[in-house]
Amino acid sequence: MRERVHRGGVIEVICGPMFSGKTEELIRRVRRAQIARQTVVVLKPYLDTRFDENHLVSHSAQKAPSVRVRTSEDVLELGRNADVVGIDEVQFLDSGIVEVIETLANLGKRVIVAGLDMDFRGQPFEPVPQLLARAEYITKTLAICVVCGQPASRSQRVTREGERIVVGSTDHYEARCRACYQAPEETVVSDVASGGLHQQ
């Protein structure tokens, strides 16, 4: 049965390559909601143990308390009692997250998600494209190309792993513009590797 749509619910998507400030922007928005005395829950995938298991942490050292979740159902359960639901690294949750986010928005929640819109191959990174189609508000962030200094929209893997998800930050990835990005050689790519995450 479809949830009845309540007034006030919206989906906001913050997307872009690694190192483009997605997490920082998510933290900024949830902090403003807290200042407005709204009930906020901030979630991240259970795999994300980088820096701090109980906080979102950006490259600029901005932090916000967060809860790690394993499945989209966890997101639904934890989000039902909040006014604002923030989700980082949404591309690492299961495909059910799209319907869960729709449900929360229909219940009147403000759902703010951040994630990579393309993988290291330059291909759309589900479920972010699905969420972009459903969102009321979209923010595309850009990084700085490490080669030429121009705005960067792609995440260049500088190591040779073929898996789609590989843990790493600047040790595995660089931000690159369209001209400086080099597509990887054809490899057999699995969606799930050794619990890896990207850091923006």
In tens digits, the chain (200 residues) has pLDDT values of 455 677 789 999 999 999 999 999 999 999 999 999 999 999 999 876 666 667 776 655 577 889 999 999 999 999 999 999 999 999 999 999 999 999 999 999 999 999 999 999 999 999 999 999 999 999 999 999 999 999 999 999 998 887 776 655 667 899 999 999 999 976 544 454 433 444 44
What is the pTM for the complete model shown? 0.86
Note whether residue 93 is domain-resident. yes
Number of domains in the chain: 1
173 labelled as ligand-binding? Answer: yes
> Which among 71, 74, 66 has a CA at the least distance from the CA of 43?
66
20 labeled binding residue: yes
Terminal-residue alpha carbon distance, the chain: 37
- We report the CATH number of the domain holding residue 62 as 3.40.50.300
In a domain, 89, yes or no: yes
- The answer to the question of residue 200 being in a domain is no
Catalytic one of 24, 89, 102, 161? 89
C-alpha of 184 from chain center:
23
* Cβ-based neighbours of 75, under 8 Å, separated by 6 or more: 43, 69, 85, 87, 93, 97, 100, 101, 104
Judge whether 90 lies within some domain: yes
Assigned domain for 178 exists = no
| 9 marked ligand binding residue | no
Residue 89 known to be catalytic: yes
Q: Is residue 153 part of a domain?
A: no
Residue numbers of the domain that contains 125: 10-141
CA 174 to chain centre: 17
